[in-house]
């Protein structure tokens, strides 16, 4: 049972969901989703957002009935040993997702700001801060999530700068691609929204959790809208052939911004983006360590330290961009497969079984 003073209000779920979904993927997702659906890929994002709203609804249908978290539900449906094993798989998924986000952000810093900085140096600067946030408890993490949405919100206005050089004809005609091409791009878009799954872990920490469902849906709608608007501006500015050659289209959009007092706005953008990455990593690491704590008798503090060491080693092992992309390419299918398999066996038993 979670103490009242450790819980957060339902309204804060909006910021938790947005923080979990808006991450480093905003800087590069346009090139990936355009591979299949071209300039119509923004519709794949909307399709992915609708799918995630259905997933959120399913999560709340299960958790509102059980009034517990992922570990307890898995143990009830699969038994203690198999259920704990499946919970551990999800814990590892969150940890490696946090590590991947951190490593990609470090790559952005190396390529765009400090080419000669060492990976281990940046890790030693960031990971202690992540541990400090986690050690403050879930309410501290939620506070970081709030500022991670509020502070970088001014970046949405940077999308106005490319508009004078954009052409709406580049995203026309609409529905120029088949339904299968749109569906092929959807899993890539879903990958950026999969962080919502950590809701399965922090549900007991929400005061009057039933009331938070509407805020979870609104958070997903907001994230989907951000991805859609960014993709539309990108597709209207770059041609499809140009997008094929770009790794970080959003950063390229920032490069055209010229201010009287600043020549390289992307430096400000990347530095501000750290406020988005920090709650990402903290939330996923907290969720992964919380699951292990629920399964074992080890304190969450020790588990967090161990996982931080795992992230440190993992980031050092991914030495090149090719290795990063090779590892990240499996995450959309891994995450989607996990959620699909879980809900397939959860949903009907939990809703239909009588106590």
Q: For every one of its 355 residues, what pLDDT tens digit does the chain have, with 9 covering 90 and above?
A: 788 888 999 999 999 999 999 888 888 888 888 887 777 888 888 888 898 898 899 889 888 887 888 888 888 888 888 889 888 988 988 998 899 899 999 999 999 888 888 999 999 999 999 999 999 989 999 999 999 999 999 999 998 888 888 888 788 778 777 777 777 777 777 667 777 888 889 999 999 889 999 999 999 999 999 999 999 999 899 888 888 888 899 999 898 888 777 778 888 999 999 999 999 999 999 999 999 999 988 899 999 999 999 999 999 988 887 888 777 766 655 555 555 555 555 555 555 444 4
| Long-range Cβ contact pairs of 333-337 (< 8 A, separation 24 or more) | 333/187, 334/93, 335/93, 335/97, 335/190, 335/191, 335/194, 335/197, 336/187, 336/190, 336/194
Q: State residue 266 phi and psi, 5-degree precision.
A: -60, -25
Helix (H) or strand (E) holding 111: helix 80-112
For the chain, what are the domain ranges?
4-341
The two three-digit tokens of residue 24, written as one number = 């480093």
Cβ-proximal residues to 136 (8 Å cutoff; 6+ apart), any chain: none
Whole-angstrom Cα distance, residue 136 to residue 227?
31
Check: CB of residue 310 under 8 Å from CB of residue 96. Answer: no
b/e map 205-223, b = 16+ CB within 10 Å:
bbeebeebbebbbbbbbbb
- pLDDT number for residue 352: 46
Can you count the helices (H) and strands (E) in the chain? 16, 0
DSSP-assigned letters across all residues of 232-261: HHHHHHS-HHHHHT-S-HHHHHHHT--BTT
Nearest CA to 192 out of 13, 334, 24 is that of 24
Report the first-to-last Cα separation within the chain, whole angstroms: 20
DSSP 198: G
Cβ-proximal residues to 28 (8 Å cutoff; 6+ apart), any chain: 104, 247, 248, 249, 250
- pLDDT number for residue 61: 87
In a 3-state reduction of DSSP, which class is residue 113?
Answer: coil
Check: CB of residue 94 under 8 Å from CB of residue 339. Answer: no
Q: CA-based diameter of the chain, in Å?
A: 67
Residue 167 forms beta bridges with which residues? none
Whole-angstrom Cα distance, residue 84 to residue 185?
33
**Structurally, what CATH architecture does the domain formed by 4-341 represent?**
Up-down Bundle (1.20)
- How many CB atoms neighbour CB 139 within 10 A? 13
- pLDDT number for residue 355: 44
**pTM of the entire predicted model:** 0.90
* Cis status of the peptide bond prior to 173, with omega within 30 of 0: yes
Give me the residue label for tokens 């750290």. Answer: 274
State whether the Cα torsion 117-118-123-125 is positive or negative: negative
DSSP 1: -
- pLDDT number for residue 331: 60
Whole-angstrom Cα distance, residue 126 to residue 141?
15
In a 3-state reduction of DSSP, which class is residue 224?
Answer: helix
């Amino acid at each position: 049972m979670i103490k009242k003073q450790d819980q957060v209000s339902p309204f804060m779920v909006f910021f938790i969901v947005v923080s979990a979904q808006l991450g480093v993927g905003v800087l590069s997702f346009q090139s990936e989703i355009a591979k299949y659906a071209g300039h119509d890929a923004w519709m794949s994002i909307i399709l992915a957002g609708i799918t995630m709203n259905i997933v959120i609804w399913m999560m709340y249908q299960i958790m509102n009935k059980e009034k517990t978290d992922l570990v307890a539900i898995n143990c009830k449906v699969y038994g203690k040993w198999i259920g704990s094993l499946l919970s551990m798989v999800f814990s590892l998924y969150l940890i490696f997702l946090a590590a991947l986000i951190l490593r990609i952000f470090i790559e952005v810093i190396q390529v765009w700001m400090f080419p000669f900085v060492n990976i281990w140096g940046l890790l030693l600067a960031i990971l202690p801060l992540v541990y400090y946030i986690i050690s403050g408890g879930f309410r501290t993490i939620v506070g970081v999530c709030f500022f991670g949405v509020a502070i970088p919100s001014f970046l949405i206005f940077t999308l106005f700068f490319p508009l004078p050089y954009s052409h709406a004809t580049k995203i026309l005609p609409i529905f120029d691609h088949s339904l299968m091409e749109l569906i092929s791009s959807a899993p890539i878009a879903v990958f950026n929204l999969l962080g919502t799954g950590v809701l399965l872990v922090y549900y007991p920490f929400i005061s009057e959790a039933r009331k938070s469902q509407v805020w979870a849906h609104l958070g997903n709608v907001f994230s989907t809208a951000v991805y859609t608007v960014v993709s539309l501006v990108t597709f209207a500015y770059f041609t499809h052939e140009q997008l094929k050659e770009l790794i970080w289209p959003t950063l390229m959009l920032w490069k055209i911004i010229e201010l009287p007092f600043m020549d390289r706005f992307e430096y400000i953008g990347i530095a501000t983006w750290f406020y988005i990455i920090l709650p990402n990593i903290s939330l996923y690491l907290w969720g992964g360590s919380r699951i292990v704590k629920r399964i074992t008798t080890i304190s969450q503090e020790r588990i967090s330290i161990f996982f931080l060491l795992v992230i440190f080693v993992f980031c050092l092992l991914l030495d090149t961009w090719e290795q990063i992309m090779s590892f990240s390419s499996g995450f959309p299918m891994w995450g989607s497969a996990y959620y699909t398999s879980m809900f397939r066996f959860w949903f009907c038993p939990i809703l239909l079984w009588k106590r």
